A and B are shown apart, each in its own frame.
Chain A
Amino acid sequence: MVSRDDFSIAIRSAFLKKATKQKFSLLALIVASIVLLSLESINSKSLNFVRSTIKDVIYRASFIVSIPMNTIRPIFTDIQNYFEIYKRYEIAIIELQQLNNQQNQIDYLKIENDKLKKIIGDTDIYNYESITTKVLVDKASPFLKSVILNKGFNLGLKKGMAVLKGPYLIGRITEVNYLSSRALLISDLNSRIPVFIEPMGYQAIMSGIGDDLAILDFLPKDHQLEIGNLVYTSGTDGIFFPGIPIGRIELIKEKFHVKFFSDLSQLYFTNVITSEPREKNNK
């Protein structure tokens, strides 16, 4: 039988005693980590500088350590692709036919769109300044969705800036160091973005659910969303400018979700928007 004394001795030994090659006791280090955690809530210039330097060093080290694995990874993907080449070829032919049909429609819509833009004195949403960044580290955590980018405030990056892959929104900058920054992806559970849904013009808040989908909160009660409706940033938060495409509406398990245009698991290069779009006349 193990007595109560044995339990207390075991607890004391586990937390206070140091093994022969241990330099610190467990309790001392637990206290140290609590101190570190409390320092996180203090926002002073010197502490931020130390944090930023540590992060820059670790991000670079992480990138270097991951190089061998990141070199091998595409080889596996290539092998997989070779096995699926015929299947992909057949799908490509069908898609090509569909694309040809769509191209005709697009040409027509472009002409119509240009006419309408002239009427409203438009702003070209694609006419903005951006910085191309490389994804240094993508930890691909199953419950936290963010990536580390290789540019920081040395090139003018600021918290809150929109991060795009091609023309599509994928996240926003949440942490900026001198040489690196962290982008919180729109799929993260902590991501909330005001959006509008076309063609209905509904306003809502898009919340990440940790998957390649997002849900819409604060939709009008009697909304009539349809599959395929397009979701853009609304710009009502004053952080993003309006009109950045995000995804389209899909019905999953009888609930409307936003399916992102970008594949967030395949991020290599991104663009961080550093300016507001300019009006076409100023071009």
Chain B
Amino acid sequence: MILFFFVISDIDIDLEKLNFLSFNLIYIFIFYWVLKNPNILGYGFIFLAGIINDVVVGLPIGVSSFTYLILSGFAAYIRYLTVQPSLIYDWIVFIPSVAVTNSAYYYILGIFFDINVDYIPLSLNTGITILFYPIVGILFNFFSKIIIVEKNV
């Protein structure tokens, strides 16, 4: 529900006076939940969220779905490979995952659809998304504990 809310609403995580400070909460959301608990966030929902995001942002339909699923692929791969999960380890893996995902996004738009994307704000957005991962991750850890406690009750 939260994922759909973020893709469908015109809320963007960037502060008006610090325009460079924008980050992609959807990426963090997808990576975290696919890594920690894939039963909460299904791939079908991620695919659908991508389509909605493409329509709202005005991109060719399928670009966001593809990039979200690539990111999910990284998260799922790490989940199968990790024995002892930790937020720091997840964070380190998140860096190449987002870098590859955003590169795919940039090249698909540029090469196949001739849509120019300004790579400086995109790179800044990537960097800040990476920096924000641990903060948002701690928040999600807290929520995930609440969900587990509620399920047990």
**Residues of B contacting A209 with CB < 8 Å?**
118
Identify the A interface with B (CB < 8 A): 2, 6-7, 9-11, 13-15, 19-26, 29-30, 32-37, 39-41, 51, 54-55, 58-59, 61-62, 65-66, 69-70, 137-144, 146, 148, 174-175, 182, 189-190, 209-210, 265
**Residues of B contacting A62 with CB < 8 Å?**
8-10, 56
**Residues of A contacting B125 with CB < 8 Å?**
142-143
Beta-carbon nearest neighbor of B14 in chain A? A142
Could you say which of B38-46, B90-98, B137-145 contacts chain A? Answer: B38-46
Docked complex: B12-62 residues within 8 A CB-CB of A? 12, 14, 16, 19-20, 22, 38-39, 42-44, 46-47, 50-52, 55-62
On whether the beta carbons of B14 and A140 are closer than 8 Å, the reply is yes
Beta-carbon nearest neighbor of B57 in chain A? A139
* B101 contacts the other chain (CB 8 A): no
30 contacts between A and B (CB under 8 A): A6-B81, A7-B81, A10-B77, A13-B80, A14-B79, A15-B73, A15-B77, A24-B43, A26-B69, A29-B46, A34-B66, A35-B62, A36-B51, A39-B62, A51-B61, A54-B55, A58-B8, A59-B55, A65-B9, A66-B9, A69-B11, A70-B10, A139-B58, A143-B121, A144-B57, A144-B58, A144-B117, A189-B117, A209-B118, A210-B118
On whether the beta carbons of B73 and A14 are closer than 8 Å, the reply is yes
The complex places the Cα of A186 from the Cα of B131 at a distance, in Å, of 31
Known: A22-B43, A142-B12, A144-B58. 20 other contacts (CB 8 A): A9-B80, A11-B77, A15-B73, A19-B38, A20-B39, A29-B46, A30-B66, A33-B47, A33-B65, A37-B108, A59-B56, A65-B5, A69-B11, A140-B10, A140-B14, A142-B124, A144-B57, A175-B58, A189-B117, A265-B16
In the complex where A6-B81, A10-B77, A189-B118 touch, is A140 in contact with B12 (Cβ < 8 A)? Answer: yes
Interface of B: prevailing SS:
helix
Beta-carbon nearest neighbor of A51 in chain B? B61
On whether the beta carbons of B11 and A146 are closer than 8 Å, the reply is no
The complex places the Cα of A35 from the Cα of B50 at a distance, in Å, of 14
The complex places the Cα of A35 from the Cα of B46 at a distance, in Å, of 16
The complex places the Cα of A58 from the Cα of B8 at a distance, in Å, of 8
On whether the beta carbons of B11 and A141 are closer than 8 Å, the reply is no
On whether the beta carbons of B73 and A66 are closer than 8 Å, the reply is no
Task: Report A147 CB to chain B, min CB distance, Å.
Answer: 9
**Residues of A contacting B22 with CB < 8 Å?**
142
**Residues of A contacting B108 with CB < 8 Å?**
37
**Residues of B contacting A265 with CB < 8 Å?**
16
**Residues of A contacting B19 with CB < 8 Å?**
142
Identify the B interface with A (CB < 8 A): 5, 8-12, 14, 16, 19-20, 22, 38-39, 42-44, 46-47, 50-52, 55-63, 65-66, 69-70, 72-73, 76-77, 79-81, 108, 112-113, 115-118, 121-122, 124-125
In the complex where A25-B43, A30-B73 touch, is A55 in contact with B10 (Cβ < 8 A)? Answer: no
On whether the beta carbons of A37 and B62 are closer than 8 Å, the reply is yes
**Residues of A contacting B56 with CB < 8 Å?**
58-59, 62, 137, 139, 148
Please provide the 3 A-B residue pairs with the shortest distance between their CB atoms, ordered closest to farther.
A36-B62, A14-B76, A37-B62
On whether the beta carbons of B9 and A37 are closer than 8 Å, the reply is no
Task: Report A209 CB to chain B, min CB distance, Å.
Answer: 7
Beta-carbon nearest neighbor of A11 in chain B? B77
**Residues of B contacting A22 with CB < 8 Å?**
38-39, 42-44
Interface centre among B20, B55, B62, B66 (most CB of A within 10 A): B55
